[in-house]
Structure 1
Amino acid sequence: MLCVMLYSGANVGFCSDEMDMNQYGKANISFYKSGGKDTSFLNLMQENDSLRVMKTLPFYGSNFEYIAHAANILTGTLDGKQEYNVRHVVNQVMAIIAILFCGLIAARLKGYRAALLAAWFLFLTPTFIGWALFDTKDLPFCMGYIASVYFLILFMEQLPRPTVKTTIYLMLALFFTLGIRVGGLLLYGYLLLFVPLVLWSKRRKGEVFIKKEDLLPLASKLALVIGGSLVLTILSWPYVLIDPMHNFVAAIESAKKFPADIAMNFKGDVIHSILLPGDYLPTYFFITIPVILLALMPASFVLVVLKFKQIKWQRVLLVMVAAIVPLIYSQVSSMTLYNGWRHLMFFYPCTMVIAGVGTDMIIDMLKKPVLQMAFGVLLLAGFIHPIRWCIANGPYQYVYYNELEGFKDAYYNYENDVWSISVKPAIDWLMINEHVADKKDSVLIATNVGTYANYYLRTQYPGARVRAVAVSTKNYSNYKWDYLLLNTIFLQTNYLQDHYPPDGTIHTIDADGRPLTAIVKDTTHLQYYISDAVENQDNYFKADSFARVYMASTRKPNPNLLGLLAMINARLYNYDKAVDYGMKAIQNNHNDFSGRAAMAFVCFKQKKIEAAVEHINICLAQDPNNDFLLQLADSIKFAMQPSNN
């Protein structure tokens, strides 16, 4: 498994989120090196075309970052070309450890066949393995969570006299998990719930809850587990260390409602991460988990509940609680989520434990070898689709959609390359095939993944005369770029369906025949000249001449240039063309500024005052100090006066 993962994830891309966490981890290390004087972790900024304060980073612990940093030092890759590759290897090893603990728990519940089934079920889930290749935010927490559940089971089995070894392992597992994310507090709840439950269930009739001679040793070990892990967490988390009570509570509050309002595609519509529909998680589970596992999971849960007495029910109940409670909490609390179920990845190994145990029970129930063999063939057949898809589309396993949806359809309706890892091979293709690294003149690359692109170009192609500028689909025509790398991140359904990849695309990085990153070449710069003539020169005749050439030379015009074309024609009194372009611009983007401004101008000239008011109000909400709009607004107000009707 590890070999497959290392091969698939070798030299895989990464995103600005991981760059943020890496920088944050280094800042935390600087805090300790300086004896607490360096508090730059509180005000970190990531260099981009503009600087942005990463306000939420202190709400994370850095336990993974410390381990990755140590691995970089040991391998001599710190701040070098291979820095992120080493981080990913550490992450992939942790994924294998998570699979190992998943199997170990299943073995304690039912036996080694159940363990093998659970481990393989987890490994053959493309979404899990895909994120395991590079998601250094969620996978380490997932590993810590399942490891903590395992050691909690050992602790429960040894009650009322758990060994010192088990006690220390449980303490360290809790510390590792909580020191990544405050969601690790769930594990403390399980501990405080199941220790008395197990003690109660172990007592014989007429016996006391716990013997006096066992009370103090057990209390001291519980204190070591809880107190020790909390103290270690505080000491390893600079933000919490400088004000333990206040800042730990702040981290908890942030986790309850993470302050990230992200627009994303869901069922072909645009939704927001802070206001999710109730079926967001169920839908993503239903279309991203292999169909064979969707069938096995509910059947396994039912079987395990029905056969509680055949296995130690306390262990099973703990695993079920560890799997179900996070899901219930996320639904009840309206938790901020995005990228599917990435943030709840930690529940999934526990679910695979139950699936492995339940499947093993089904095999036992079949009894006859021929029936068991037929069932085994059915299981293997159920994994053909995810296995084939992963082999054909690595390292993009994390964008997998099962047979019920299929990636080719889901591509337009749901999220896909949300971490933009396809940008790396796009840059490499561009540098090699367009010989960008060898060009004497400077080359400007526009991209909607600017932070990563600049870092990658700087570290992997240090001698190349190339620079990346961060753009969006709305403003890339404002730059005189030579190449555009446009990733699907944040691209909405209508844009993907009608305008992607853009005209001028010379190559795409694909998954299952759908482009994840498009490489666009521009030798005429007509889009820039149109924008420049309007925005900087206020020369609409010049802009119109460029626009005519541009429209004659393109099959698929930039939709975010339509509003500008509407304004050009409006100012040149070509009202029919202005309305045509303006309506198309608004259809593409309801709040298109130039399109709305052009429509306001035309409607005013055509004495459609109510329509002019509607358009100009939308514009003023975006730019209340625009001179042209303010003058137009005054003219509209004057026209609305009764004496002028």
Structure 2
Amino acid sequence: MFRSKTTSAPQWLPLPEEPQGGRKLAEWLFFGLLLALGMLLVADYGVSWDEANNHLNGLVNLKYLASLLPVGEGLRQHPTFAITPDIRDFPDAHHGPLFEMAAVVVNFLFTDHDSRSYFLVRHLMVFGVFVGGVWAVYQLARRWLGSWRWGLLAAALLVASPRFFAEAFYNGKDIVFMACFTLAMHTLARLLARPTPSRALVHGLAIALAAGIRVQGLQLLLFTALGLALTAAAGHYRPQPAARPAYGRMGALVVVAALGGLVSIWPYLWVHSLPKLLDVSAHAMHYPWKFTNLYWGQFYKSAGVPWHYVPVWLLITTPVGYSLAAAVGLGAVGWRWGQALARRVWPAGPGPALDALVATWLLGPIGVVILMGASIYDGWRHLYFVYPALVLLAARGVQLVWCRSRQPGRGRQLALAGLAVFGLATAHTVWRMARMHPFQNLYFSFLSAPAAERLFERDYWGLSYRRGLEWLLANQPTGPVRINVTVPNYHPLYNNSLMLPAAQRHRIQYVPLAEADYFMGAYRWHPQAYPDTLGTEIYTLRVEGIKTLSIFRRPRAGAARR
């Protein structure tokens, strides 16, 4: 039988909020500078493999909307819609369309409709949503760790995560979903702190927002049930419980708001029935991706990767200091819950529920993917939404070490040394990000360049093609540039040409190998060197020593000049 919390029970988070002097100024400076940095850097990134198809998904859904709404015949007959598939025939209509629909509308209203303008605005929108996710991490950490300063640390760790920072400009699926998922976890924390119908409604709509990006956002309903159950149990075991909120009613309101909101923003569910959500979820779990993953030097199908695929990818792409600090934070959460259960003490307040939620947020989805053998590819991007939990735990780990450094005893010097090492390692990560720009998506935390080249796929987004095209156009300033690439690399090559000025785009010709002046080769599925028969390698792009792109002058080009 559990008893109520006593003075002998473990100390639970959150800690008391410290004085707020300087908080508003720090918030404005941090987020203002982050937005300014995004606007400064947005033009440097290429167009990723999926972006053209994602844009088409937005058009498909808007075409269906236009057929239902009184928008005028001129818009219904717009030339773009004439070549846009019907929503019933589009194979990717089950992908959440909310962000893509917004991107199409914003670009239609505010750009000159050139492809470069479209992708610049789209990338700014992705980054803006990412900043919203950083804000949600800040709010969660501020609530959980009891201080806005620790909140800013967690937010800064997310920004100073190389791969996430780069993808915050172009990954309209996983980064946008991560941000929306984190926002929903923030609204859940608010609901647990003060369960009211208005907060339940807002949380349900936040779940709908996340699920409108990826249907996996509906798993937030499980996190909500866990949080409400733990908070209700904490109230039940108090010696003199106050009037407890109707947690069951709060949960029901969340479900109604989430499902109702999702149906209202997803045209696919207007065409099909609500139970189609179950089919969509199952399809997402076992998506029939036709390519392969290069992992540990071997090629695997997306549904056949080893169980350790996600943990390994997470570790090799996360700064080592963050991983170690998160392990400390996770250990503290486990130790505190274990201590409470061993003493048969049920902890009161929302702090323990947040402990459990953050730990489950990190470990639960990874465990489900491993146990169910879900399809996964392109690194671990489909699980990016768990990364904010890792940085929250890392901030908690740093907080623990900092508290220990302020106490007398033999451990004080060790704690101070640990803080110094963490600070230096984080500064080194930021320096590496600046040096790698704009290819932070090729960051490996501790692997050498030869090991990364041999064991893991490189630049699966295909962003390096933009740099290759720009180099070719600069070194052949006039006339057509005839290029060959292997199938299916035509897609990222074409996508990146869309970021070039129109006059430069028109000079690029995609031709068979026998007619090409140049061959452009990437290394996503090609860990070995290209054969000499392709010609002379005239350009090589390396990022921290990792060979990412090669351009060859074809033999026939040299023969023609002679």
Q: Which amino acid aligns with 1:511?
A: V
1:466 aligned residue = 507
Q: Is the 8 A contact 1:268 1:413 kept in 2?
A: yes
1:180 aligned residue = 213
1:15 aligned residue = 48
1:640 aligned residue = none
**In 2 relative to 1, CA 488–205 (structure 1 residues): closer, same or farther, beyond 3 Å?**
closer
For the residue of structure 1 that corresponds to 2:548, the secondary structure is: strand
2:131 counterpart of 1:118: no
2:224 counterpart of 1:191: yes
> Within 5 A, what are the aligned runs for 1:36-51?
40-42=85-87
> Within 5 A, what are the aligned runs for 1:225-244?
225-244=254-273
Counterpart among 413, 425, 434 of residue 455 in structure 2: 413
C-alpha deviation, 1:294, in angstroms: 2.1
1:508 aligned residue = 540
1:359 aligned residue = 398
Q: Is the 8 A contact 1:450 1:468 kept in 2?
A: no
Q: Is the 8 A contact 1:326 1:344 kept in 2?
A: yes
C-alpha deviation, 1:333, in angstroms: 0.7
String of CA shifts for 1:499-528, please: whole Å, max 9, x gaps: 49954222223212333222222251699x
Name which of structure 1's ranges 370-379 and 339-348 shifts more when overlaid on structure 2.
Answer: 370-379
Q: Is the 8 A contact 2:293 2:299 kept in 1?
A: yes
TM-score (norm 1): 0.71
2:108 counterpart of 1:95: no
CA distance in 1, matches of 2:456, 2:46: 21
Q: Is the 8 A contact 1:146 1:346 kept in 2?
A: yes
For the residue of structure 2 that corresponds to 1:515, the secondary structure is: strand
CA distance in 2, matches of 1:239, 1:274: 26
Q: Which amino acid aligns with 1:399?
A: L
Alignment length (residue pairs): 498
**In 2 relative to 1, CA 77–145 (structure 1 residues): closer, same or farther, beyond 3 Å?**
farther
> Within 5 A, what are the aligned runs for 1:478-489?
479-489=514-524
C-alpha deviation, 1:71, in angstroms: 3.0
For the residue of structure 2 that corresponds to 1:264, the secondary structure is: strand
Q: Which amino acid aligns with 2:304?
A: L
> Within 5 A, what are the aligned runs for 1:279-298?
279-298=308-327
CA distance in 2, matches of 1:206, 1:456: 64
CA distance in 2, matches of 1:481, 1:394: 30
Q: Is the 8 A contact 1:142 1:347 kept in 2?
A: yes
Larger radius of gyration: 1
Q: Is the 8 A contact 2:449 2:545 kept in 1?
A: no
1:144 aligned residue = 180
2:256 counterpart of 1:265: no
**In 2 relative to 1, CA 245–201 (structure 1 residues): closer, same or farther, beyond 3 Å?**
same
String of CA shifts for 1:349-382, please: whole Å, max 9, x gaps: 0121122122112211221598565443221122
**In 2 relative to 1, CA 500–249 (structure 1 residues): closer, same or farther, beyond 3 Å?**
farther
**In 2 relative to 1, CA 205–381 (structure 1 residues): closer, same or farther, beyond 3 Å?**
closer
CA distance in 2, matches of 1:459, 1:186: 36
String of CA shifts for 1:545-570, please: whole Å, max 9, x gaps: xxxxxxxxxxxxxxxxxxxxxxxxxx
For the residue of structure 1 that corresponds to 2:521, the secondary structure is: strand
**In 2 relative to 1, CA 501–223 (structure 1 residues): closer, same or farther, beyond 3 Å?**
farther
For the residue of structure 1 that corresponds to 2:551, the secondary structure is: strand
For the residue of structure 1 that corresponds to 2:483, the secondary structure is: strand
CA distance in 2, matches of 1:352, 1:486: 36
Name which of structure 1's ranges 506-515 and 197-206 shifts more when overlaid on structure 2.
Answer: 197-206
String of CA shifts for 1:86-140, please: whole Å, max 9, x gaps: 1111111222221221121111112223212222222222122222221111011
1:522 aligned residue = 554
Q: Which amino acid aligns with 1:469?
A: Y
1:28 aligned residue = 61
CA distance in 1, matches of 2:315, 2:366: 14
CA distance in 1, matches of 2:521, 2:49: 16
Counterpart among 165, 174, 178 of residue 129 in structure 1: 165
2:277 aligned residue = 248
**In 2 relative to 1, CA 236–156 (structure 1 residues): closer, same or farther, beyond 3 Å?**
same
Q: Is the 8 A contact 2:519 2:534 kept in 1?
A: no
For the residue of structure 2 that corresponds to 1:42, the secondary structure is: coil
CA distance in 2, matches of 1:261, 1:209: 57
For the residue of structure 2 that corresponds to 1:270, the secondary structure is: strand
For the residue of structure 1 that corresponds to 2:484, the secondary structure is: strand
CA distance in 2, matches of 1:286, 1:458: 34
Counterpart among 442, 446, 450 of residue 490 in structure 2: 450
Q: Is the 8 A contact 2:534 2:555 kept in 1?
A: no
For the residue of structure 1 that corresponds to 2:519, the secondary structure is: strand
Q: Which amino acid aligns with 2:360?
A: V
C-alpha deviation, 1:266, in angstroms: 1.4
C-alpha deviation, 1:490, in angstroms: 2.2
1:383 aligned residue = 426
Name which of structure 1's ranges 338-347 and 406-415 shifts more when overlaid on structure 2.
Answer: 406-415
CA distance in 2, matches of 1:174, 1:27: 23
CA distance in 1, matches of 2:251, 2:533: 58
String of CA shifts for 1:394-422, please: whole Å, max 9, x gaps: 1111111112x133420222011101101
Q: Is the 8 A contact 1:485 1:519 kept in 2?
A: yes
String of CA shifts for 1:187-232, please: whole Å, max 9, x gaps: 0111123223312211355778976xx54xx666544432222122
2:100 counterpart of 1:65: yes
For the residue of structure 2 that corresponds to 1:85, the secondary structure is: helix
Q: CA-atom RMSD, angstroms?
A: 3.0
C-alpha deviation, 1:236, in angstroms: 2.0
**In 2 relative to 1, CA 424–43 (structure 1 residues): closer, same or farther, beyond 3 Å?**
farther
CA distance in 2, matches of 1:43, 1:443: 39
Q: Which amino acid aligns with 1:303?
A: A
Q: Which amino acid aligns with 2:402?
A: I
2:328 counterpart of 1:299: yes
Show structure 2 runs of 5+ residues with no match: 1-33, 70-75, 338-346
For the residue of structure 2 that corresponds to 1:508, the secondary structure is: strand
Q: Which amino acid aligns with 1:445?
A: I
2:357 aligned residue = 318
C-alpha deviation, 1:32, in angstroms: 0.4
CA distance in 2, matches of 1:457, 1:270: 29
Q: Which amino acid aligns with 1:127?
A: R
CA distance in 1, matches of 2:107, 2:44: 15
Q: Is the 8 A contact 1:69 1:78 kept in 2?
A: no
Q: Which amino acid aligns with 1:332?
A: L
TM-score (norm 2): 0.81
**In 2 relative to 1, CA 501–192 (structure 1 residues): closer, same or farther, beyond 3 Å?**
farther
Q: Is the 8 A contact 2:192 2:228 kept in 1?
A: yes
1:344 aligned residue = 383
Q: Is the 8 A contact 1:363 1:375 kept in 2?
A: no
Name which of structure 1's ranges 480-489 and 458-467 shifts more when overlaid on structure 2.
Answer: 458-467
Counterpart among 335, 338, 345 of residue 374 in structure 2: 335
CA distance in 2, matches of 1:451, 1:339: 16
**In 2 relative to 1, CA 207–383 (structure 1 residues): closer, same or farther, beyond 3 Å?**
closer
Identity between Structure 1 and Structure 2 (%): 20
**In 2 relative to 1, CA 423–203 (structure 1 residues): closer, same or farther, beyond 3 Å?**
same
**In 2 relative to 1, CA 457–350 (structure 1 residues): closer, same or farther, beyond 3 Å?**
closer
Q: Is the 8 A contact 1:106 1:354 kept in 2?
A: no
Name which of structure 1's ranges 373-382 and 412-421 shifts more when overlaid on structure 2.
Answer: 373-382
C-alpha deviation, 1:317, in angstroms: 1.0
CA distance in 2, matches of 1:507, 1:124: 30
String of CA shifts for 1:442-479, please: whole Å, max 9, x gaps: 44221243234345546745446534437xxxxx64x4
For the residue of structure 2 that corresponds to 1:317, the secondary structure is: helix
